[in-house]
Structure 1
């Protein structure tokens, strides 16, 4: 073990005798070619990669590392410059490799160099304690070079993640605008974002603050971002085997609305539908938590698509009810609703109302008189049924019904 001669020293190479620098220089500087050859032989990723940018940086890194190591011996200085090794880590990430290969190269380099130093035997004239200090200095030095490369790799990784996120946001934001992108534009945006254009897709809308957690639980083939302060996810092949269950599972404890499944060229339709349904969900018009499918609530969406038109329908078709007292109006609404829901079956309507069928007939006779034949017309009955649905849902329709 290296005996520290000065407790105030911060770096292990400070405990190597200063004279070791000149004695070891021929051995150390002559190790560069062997280090590179051994790395190429033992690290498969580098066998054919020494002619490009990475090869140039490796050769520079080896040369600088050997010179710098010698210059540090006998001093208590910090590494003067680790930019070369920081950049090596960045290049590794850009080449799509993990840090494993570069870490192996560092280990091989230290092993080859130490083997050369050990083989030189007594030629350098160092005492055993100095040899131990030299070994400790070498391995601490290599550890710092490797740490600089890890930092460079992490830095490049963060840049790439930010760039991918920006490109994915550009894709999602464009898909949310109408008219939708033409095929060439979509293909370019999708390629830049790393998102294969699917054969079918649906828009999923949720609260902005829920997007991150939900996306971490979803399949990796989604495209997601925040647009206009709302979380938007484009889900490929949402009707595929197990996809709906996977979405529902990912949305545990979170509310989200899924638009209809469409071809990519029809993406504005699924976005518009999902956004409309999300607004209704926030207003309490669409019940339920977790995954809400807009296609299960088309009538509600229809009645809220044009609130002024719906209010006019309610005001026109339910005008007879506005002339009644509040109690009579409530009784008329429940009777009409039960009768329409029972498809005109008086007995079924009476069961739903818990009254005698004769009572229903009496009420219907009065209502048909008040509605002046509208209830005997199929289209008229449909309009009354829609108006009752809109009136019971509140909003403009409910206000029109309540006025009197």
Structure 2
């Protein structure tokens, strides 16, 4: 930026100003550091290899760089990047915001400007030129802040990466079942990421809607592992009021399943049910586009994964249907299921199937003729109930009219 008033200052005055300022840079840096320590006692100062505070080194270098820029007439002062990036990293690693660091910088610039103004009067530099000097100082401050922001962002990225690594380790250990860590060890691992071990948890398994899908915004209380092929969630105290709604909103557009609420030590059990539900989703037996709660899908989770066993039991349970044409057999099977479920007569069965009562009555007579008294055995009916419900879930029953 052009500085017409400063450019008109005679060179001997500029050199005199720079000479005094550089000679006092060490003392000025000490004074600024003392004021910073007084106003910001919580600020932790890191020392270099010689034992000198890095802040002192940075302040002195900043003063010298700015003054040398004024003396040379260069377009832009060079900000010493290493020290101020380190300041930013220190703020990030200690969990503080950049606001406090910027306040420190503003204090330093204000004190430096106060002394520069005194030197300007001593050398007899005109006021307009000194005003431009002040503007240059605040532009220089912007450069210092920019370097610190870079260091802060770097530290924040490293911290986030480390927290995610520790979080994944904690999730792995919680879900390891009997091979996992003790509650005490898990507590230590959880403390490293600022997470309090809950009494109960539910484990979720997600199916990515797309390879580069943005992670669900589940909040810090819920652990999320996005590195797995199928992302995993650990939901603490899942029965807490509002927790289910939070998860539902955060996972809008995702498919997956959340296992039942279990004690922390049984986390692997919740994971197993969630994985079972996800396999059903992938097989098209549970709907996609939402995250299912396993406790809402008990029938499917009990019957559908047992397909081989159900299919093996079907011929024995439904022997009378084997010699009947397939379409008619499916209608009679649906009627038999409706009769077992309702424990009612033709009217109730007809309503359940959406057919005329006379049709239901005709089918019930056929069922009685086919099974005889065996249909009244409670154990036989229960076994048929399981087989027929599994077939209905798989869409294998026909309920319509003849």
Give the TM-score normalised by structure 1. 0.83
2:362 pairs with 1:363? no
Residues 1:105 and 1:268: Cα distance change in structure 2 (over 3 Å): same
Find the counterpart in structure 1 of residue 59 from structure 2.
62
In structure 2, distance between residues paired with 1:100 and 1:130: 30
2:34 pairs with 1:31? no
DSSP 3-state at the match of 1:230: coil
In structure 2, distance between residues paired with 1:98 and 1:351: 66
String of CA shifts for 1:108-165, please: whole Å, max 9, x gaps: 1111111112223542343555434433333322321221111111110111111111
Find the counterpart in structure 1 of residue 245 from structure 2.
245
In structure 2, distance between residues paired with 1:51 and 1:328: 85
Residues 1:242 and 1:64: Cα distance change in structure 2 (over 3 Å): same
String of CA shifts for 1:164-219, please: whole Å, max 9, x gaps: 11211222233344446232342233223332111111012222347975631x34
In structure 2, distance between residues paired with 1:144 and 1:288: 51
In structure 1, distance between residues paired with 2:154 and 2:61: 22
Q: Displacement of 1:266 after TM fit?
A: 0.3
Find the counterpart in structure 1 of residue 173 from structure 2.
174
DSSP 3-state at the match of 2:197: coil
In structure 2, distance between residues paired with 1:63 and 1:228: 49
In structure 2, distance between residues paired with 1:55 and 1:306: 71
In structure 2, distance between residues paired with 1:158 and 1:203: 27
Aligned pairs for 1:69-84 within 5 A: 69-75=66-72, 76=74, 79=78, 81-84=80-83
Find the counterpart in structure 1 of residue 216 from structure 2.
215
Find the counterpart in structure 1 of residue 130 from structure 2.
131
In structure 2, distance between residues paired with 1:51 and 1:178: 44
Give the TM-score normalised by structure 2. 0.84
DSSP 3-state at the match of 2:71: coil
Find the counterpart in structure 2 of residue 262 from structure 1.
262
The number of equivalent residue pairs is 383
Q: Displacement of 1:225 after TM fit?
A: 0.9
Find the counterpart in structure 2 of residue 149 from structure 1.
148
String of CA shifts for 1:333-385, please: whole Å, max 9, x gaps: 1221221121254442244442337524421222214xxx5422211111111
Residues 1:153 and 1:343: Cα distance change in structure 2 (over 3 Å): same
DSSP 3-state at the match of 2:297: helix
Find the counterpart in structure 2 of residue 9 from structure 1.
none
Q: Displacement of 1:307 after TM fit?
A: 2.9
In structure 1, distance between residues paired with 2:215 and 2:92: 28
In structure 2, distance between residues paired with 1:350 and 1:62: 89
Aligned pairs for 1:106-125 within 5 A: 106-125=105-124
Find the counterpart in structure 1 of residue 400 from structure 2.
none
In structure 2, distance between residues paired with 1:17 and 1:83: 28
In structure 2, distance between residues paired with 1:69 and 1:121: 15
2:18 pairs with 1:3? no
In structure 2, distance between residues paired with 1:202 and 1:283: 23
In structure 2, distance between residues paired with 1:223 and 1:354: 54
Find the counterpart in structure 2 of residue 10 from structure 1.
none
In structure 1, distance between residues paired with 2:370 and 2:5: 104
2:338 pairs with 1:341? no
CA RMSD of aligned residues (A): 3.1
Find the counterpart in structure 1 of residue 306 from structure 2.
306
In structure 2, distance between residues paired with 1:243 and 1:256: 17
Find the counterpart in structure 2 of residue 386 from structure 1.
386
Q: Displacement of 1:291 after TM fit?
A: 4.1
Find the counterpart in structure 1 of residue 329 from structure 2.
329
Residues 1:350 and 1:142: Cα distance change in structure 2 (over 3 Å): closer
String of CA shifts for 1:206-264, please: whole Å, max 9, x gaps: 22347975631x34310011364112111111111222233233333433322100010
Task: Please say if residues 173 and 227 of structure 1, whose CA atoms lie closer than 8 Å, have aligned partners that are also in contact.
Answer: no
DSSP 3-state at the match of 1:24: helix
String of CA shifts for 1:9-67, please: whole Å, max 9, x gaps: xxxxx9x9455321433344431222122222333533xx4587899222222222223
Find the counterpart in structure 2 of residue 402 from structure 1.
none
Residues 1:38 and 1:336: Cα distance change in structure 2 (over 3 Å): same
Find the counterpart in structure 1 of residue 196 from structure 2.
196
DSSP 3-state at the match of 1:224: strand
In structure 1, distance between residues paired with 2:248 and 2:277: 17
Q: Displacement of 1:4 after TM fit?
A: 7.6
In structure 2, distance between residues paired with 1:195 and 1:99: 25
